[in-house]
Amino acid sequence: MPVDTRTRQPYGLLHGGVSVVLAETLGSCGAIYSAPPGHRVVGLDINANHIRAAKSGWVTGKTTPVHVGRSTQVWAIEMHNDAGELTCVSRITMAVLAAR
């Protein structure tokens, strides 16, 4: 994700909400790809800890499953800047819904 005028807050730092949007997107993608065919996934809870500010460049996120169950999934997301430094950690809990 680029850190530029579209994603920075007034102090010139990557907006924390943008990091949460990236985390939710990555966790949701992992969840839907891990869900049984025809099922849907929806977010139940997300949190984020902002570790280091990013002012420019790119932030890259990686999601890892913590728990992939029948009715819930938990995903951990880490984001790093161009130097490989940790900028944010997040965890999302997803509900797995059966097909209608």
Sequence-distant (6+) residues with CB within 8 A of 23 are 46, 48, 61, 63, 77, 79, 88, 90, 92
Question: Do strands 40-50 and 60-68 pair parallel, antiparallel, or not at all (unpaired)?
Answer: unpaired
For residue 24, indicate whether it is catalytic. yes
Question: How far apart, in whole angstroms, are the C-alpha atoms of residue 46 and residue 39?
Answer: 21
Question: How far apart, in whole angstroms, are the C-alpha atoms of residue 32 and residue 19?
Answer: 20
Catalytic residue among 18, 20, 24, 46: 24
- Classify residue 8 by its DSSP letter: B
Q: Active-site residues: which are they?
A: 24
